[in-house]
Amino acid sequence: NPHIASSSCLPSASQVRPRLLGPRMAATIDSATWTRPSARGKMDVVIGAKATASQPVAPKHDEGCGLSAYMALPTDQYVLIPLPNKAKLEKLDEGHFALRVPEIQIFNVWLRPYVVATVQVTEDGVIIEAQEAKIEGSPEVDRLELNSKTAFSIKVVLKGIEDPRGLRSKLVAQSEVNVWVDP
């Protein structure tokens, strides 16, 4: 793959992870750019958003292992990157990953989103796109038939923008989420 840096620069995901500057996230949400997609059969209620968020990356890093090397990590190393809130990322096959996030409790019902996504490392960035998204949970999830009454589309593009001086590099995420609901 021409987008992958040399293996000497990419020994493991934990060694090339860029240092983010603090917990701040400079985010903007631009609903004017979101275009409502067509209904899907009876699922005519559509909710969606586009958002762009950026996070400054500290200029200090190991020699030769900056932001561009991090962004070029082979996808099989993604499972080595720790996720927040006990989320789990599991490699299913080449380029397909399953993401499970901790369950959400709402009164006596618990929900846990489950997403199978493809991940592609390209010159334009890392493209993560959901191929399957469903809701797992307590028996009420099945009884209410939530998965047959909802559909999701999720796409995230991560780009590393490096300052040639190494002072103001940042990681930018462009996301679009659409949810179709059968009322």
**pLDDT 10s digits, 42-100:** 999 999 999 898 888 876 666 766 778 888 888 888 777 788 888 888 999 888 999 98
Q: Which helix (H) or strand (E) holds 105?
A: strand 104-106
Give every CB contact of residue 106 below 8 A, 6+ residues apart in sequence. Answer: none
The span from the CA of 78 to the CA of 62, in Å, is: 19
Q: What was the pLDDT predicted at 15?
A: 46
CA dihedral 176, 170, 8, 64 (to 10 degrees): 170
**Quick one: pLDDT band at residue 3, thresholds 50, 70, 90?**
very low
Exposure string for 148-162, b = 16+ CB within 10 A, e = fewer: eebbbbbebbbbbee
Q: CB–CB of 16/10 below 8 Å?
A: yes
More confident residue, 104 or 7: 104
Confidence at 148, pLDDT banded by 50, 70, 90: very high
Average pLDDT score, the chain: 80
Angstrom CA distances, 50 to 27, 103, 116, 128, 152, stand at 11, 25, 20, 15, 14
- Is the backbone of residue 125 left (phi > 0), alpha (psi -120 to 50) or beta? left
pLDDT > 90: what percent of the chain?
33
**What pLDDT does 35 receive?**
87
pLDDT of residue 78: 78
The angle subtended at Cα 135 by Cα 131 and Cα 141, nearest 5°, is 150
